Copies of this chain bind each other. A is one copy, B any other.
């Protein structure tokens, strides 16, 4: 069960309205790596968590924090939209320099939400459940979490240069700091789990079953022209778990057959048997 406290986690202040920035910020609210994504991802991982208590507790801590981040961004966007009424815009349009950005406004901020944040990205595409992952394998999921915080912080860093509003920038700095911590956090969880499980997900697929395809587990296939790719750590040395050495297959040849499918029953109406 959850409870709500009136104050925001961090202060959210805006120096002056900016409806185009409001549109851009929607990316980190309702986009692929926005706060809705991490909120729903951590909550579902937490709700579904099985096994050691500390992981579930930790996921609930951070999932609950992220609901508050969605709240902060809605407040930020509402403040940026104050003063974006049709008449304000008609007034603004008289100054060409200001008018210039009018085309960049999200029309739904006026028509649909009445100056509020929306569950959509910066192009108005609705957030959807396929943005998140909760697989039941902790190491796999925490790799997703580390990745989500990496993309999220990258996007906030890019947004940071798209405004000169000091109020907004202060909010972004808090978000950058939390995203930094959350990257540390998932790295720490991953480190714990890799020590216990080994580095390959899933850990429990029996090695003997993979024996026959042993070579393929260490080969780099050079399928594009040029061999600059032979220079990376992925092409030389040993696997991270020491189970084998990497092989750079410079001129790979296919090992399979030329596939050929039979003509199926007439009832599928392929019209493949028709003879002139």
Taking CB atoms and an 8 Å cut-off, the chain A residues in 172-202 that contact chain B are 173-174, 176-178, 180-181, 183-189, 191-193, 195-197, 199-202
Taking CB atoms and an 8 Å cut-off, the chain A residues in 230-276 that contact chain B are 231-234, 239-240, 246, 254-259, 261-276
Establish whether residues B1 and A1, one from each chain, have CB atoms under 8 Å apart when the complex forms: no
Contacts of A276 in B (CB 8 A): 195-196
Taking CB atoms and an 8 Å cut-off, the chain A residues in 14-43 that contact chain B are 20, 23-24, 27-28, 30-33, 36, 40, 43
Establish whether residues B274 and A203, one from each chain, have CB atoms under 8 Å apart when the complex forms: yes
The smallest C-beta distance from A105 to any residue of chain B, in angstroms, reads: 7
The smallest C-beta distance from A258 to any residue of chain B, in angstroms, reads: 4
Contacts of A82 in B (CB 8 A): 261-262, 264
Task: Determine the residue in chain B with the shortest Cβ distance to A213.
Answer: B177
Q: What band does the interface of chain A fall in when counting residues whose beta carbon is under 8 Å from B?
A: 35 or more
Q: Which of B61, B158, B229, B256 contacts A10 (CB 8 A)?
A: B256
Q: Which of B143, B162, B205, B272 contacts A50 (CB 8 A)?
A: B272
Establish whether residues B124 and A232, one from each chain, have CB atoms under 8 Å apart when the complex forms: no
Establish whether residues A2 and B1, one from each chain, have CB atoms under 8 Å apart when the complex forms: no
Given contact pairs A125-B125, A135-B154, A205 touches B234 in the complex (Cβ within 8 A): no
Establish whether residues A147 and B140, one from each chain, have CB atoms under 8 Å apart when the complex forms: yes
Assembly CA distance A187 to B209 (angstroms): 23
Contacts of A65 in B (CB 8 A): 2, 221, 223
Establish whether residues B266 and A204, one from each chain, have CB atoms under 8 Å apart when the complex forms: yes
Assembly CA distance A119 to B126 (angstroms): 14
Establish whether residues B203 and A187, one from each chain, have CB atoms under 8 Å apart when the complex forms: no
Establish whether residues A158 and B268, one from each chain, have CB atoms under 8 Å apart when the complex forms: yes
Assembly CA distance A227 to B126 (angstroms): 33
Residue among A2, A227, A239 with the most chain B CB within 10 A? A2
Q: Which of B3, B105, B202, B263 contacts A157 (CB 8 A)?
A: B202
Assembly CA distance A54 to B232 (angstroms): 7
Q: List 23 A-B contacts (CB under 8 A).
A: A1-B7, A1-B71, A2-B5, A2-B64, A2-B65, A4-B61, A12-B256, A47-B117, A50-B262, A50-B264, A93-B97, A113-B134, A137-B270, A143-B146, A146-B147, A176-B205, A177-B213, A178-B216, A184-B239, A184-B246, A196-B275, A204-B274, A205-B269
